[in-house]
Amino acid sequence: MLRFLRFGILALVASLLAVEPLAAQSILRDAETEAFFRQVAKPLEVAAGLDPKSVQIVLIGDPSINAFVSGGQNIYIHSGLIVAADNVNQLQGVIAHELGHIAGGHNVRFGEGAGPATRISLLSLVAAGLLIAAGAGDAGIAALGLGTAKAQSDFLSFSRDQESRADQAGAGFLRTAGISGKGSIVFFQKLLGEEYRNAIKQDNSYNRTHPLSGERISALDAEYRTSPAYNAPSDPALQAEFLRIKGKLTGFVEEPPRTFVLYPESDLSEGARYARAYAYHKSAYPDAANGEVDRLIALHPADPYYLELKGQILLESGHAKEALPVLRKAVARAPNEPLISTLLGHALISTEDPKDFAEAKPLLRSAIARDRDNPFAWYQLGVIYDREGDEPRAALAAAERYNLEGNAKSAAANARLALLGLPQGTPDWIRADDIAGVSKNELDKKKHKKWF
């Protein structure tokens, strides 16, 4: 699915799709989940002829069952989709479809559908204006309505065609990667069930951005059945990891009572213990949360993600010193996971011990070097600079953080402050100047933005 935000005359595109700015979405970061996404997507990305290093899969905190492509080779998956999926094969079916959009260049080709629709709307508005000016008000309104209806119909037809093409491309990627399409069919059946429950008519798809789920099932079922991989089972290790991720995410996004219904105490699986650990932690029962995670660590003493959760529970329960050895072990087991390193850096800063600050600074700088898109890491590094009295670099760290969070006003202010104290021409000065320029442009756009 392609999502975008664009308003033309008569708010045409907004009338076609209920869209939400990506900046307003809640992005969830988790080292284990991101590593899992890379692992399950890689064979499909290779099958699509894409460089796995160039494709990013981002988790969005949203309970709806949805996924979409935006900004080039970025796939966004809603948390509700992971919670609704039963197995890793269903998730891979969704990823294959979204890769179909990327491989087909559908983001780039969006103008092919939206452009003509907007032109039709503009022409209808001009025609309506002339008729109204001539005293034919009713005829003018009718012309306006016809133009908008034509624009909407053309755009929806274009969107459905792109979705069908992505379906077929995704089926090809699954075949090439040797992955079954059964999960894709089952997931479409889930969507069909949702449509029935929401009383969405199944008689035609003319007023929809996507083909009807029933139509998609019919179109894809025969394609999937001809694949040699149709009856191929999923990798048991990937399925086990999926269930872990699903339990972990459920415990994080659901209210604790709901989590305990989905994962009762009688369920002793790793995913269930993961879910309950988060639910207990959110409910301010650290002993119970630690009990669940300790049982997980007993099963896998060197698992960096279980150790990460143990450290997080200790840290957020006010036991920063006790969290340090656990998080140091997690970082040692996963040295290339900047999110875990950032958590250790946060724990070190929380002790208020100068010796721990000295350990935290290179750790955070290394984490940011591997992942610059983490506003929390920039915040923690800024705290260290502030305590050291390095106000220009503290301001630069704040500018980086606000820039990532989409707060152009605060980013610009801190970038200008950094420029006053940094040596001109140095890499830090150049970066501050870049942020100041970009933020100023964003503020100017908002200031002079015209709505038609």
How far does the chain reach from its first CA to its final CA, in angstroms?
Answer: 27
Cα 371 from chain centroid (whole Å): 16
pLDDT value at residue 190: 80
Report residue 104's pLDDT band, with 50, 70 and 90 as the boundaries.
Answer: confident
Report residue 202's pLDDT band, with 50, 70 and 90 as the boundaries.
Answer: low
Cα 69 from chain centroid (whole Å): 10
CA angle, 374 then 251 then 340, to 5°: 30
Q: pLDDT (tens digit, 9 = 90+) per residue, 296-342?
A: 999 999 999 999 999 999 999 999 999 999 999 999 999 999 999 99
Tokens read off for 379 = 């915040």
The model carries a pTM of: 0.80
Q: pLDDT (tens digit, 9 = 90+) per residue, 111-129?
A: 454 445 444 444 444 444 4
Report residue 132's pLDDT band, with 50, 70 and 90 as the boundaries.
Answer: very low
pLDDT value at residue 196: 63
Q: pLDDT (tens digit, 9 = 90+) per residue, 437-446?
A: 999 999 988 8
**Amino acid residing at 447:** K
State the chain's mean pLDDT as an integer: 84
- Find the radius of gyration of the CA atoms of the chain: 25
Phi and psi for 198 in degrees, rounded to 5? Answer: -90, 10
pLDDT value at residue 219: 78
Q: How far apart are CA 309 and CA 278, in angstroms?
A: 9
Phi and psi for 149 in degrees, rounded to 5? Answer: -60, -40
Confidence check: pLDDT of 149 > 60? no
pLDDT value at residue 189: 83
Helix 213-225 with 182-197: angle, nearest 10 deg:
170
Question: Quick one: average pLDDT of 170-185?
Answer: 93
Burial 128-159 (b: 16+ CB within 10 A, else e): beebbeeeeeeebeebbeebbebbbeebbebb
Report residue 378's pLDDT band, with 50, 70 and 90 as the boundaries.
Answer: very high
Q: How would DSSP label each residue in 286-355?
A: HHHHHHHHHHHHHH-TT-HHHHHHHHHHHHHTT-HHHHHHHHHHHHHH-TT-HHHHHHHHHHHHHTT-HH
pLDDT value at residue 389: 96
Confidence check: pLDDT of 418 > 90? yes
Phi and psi for 28 in degrees, rounded to 5? Answer: -100, 125
Q: pLDDT (tens digit, 9 = 90+) per residue, 21-63?
A: 454 568 999 999 999 999 999 999 999 999 999 999 999 999 9
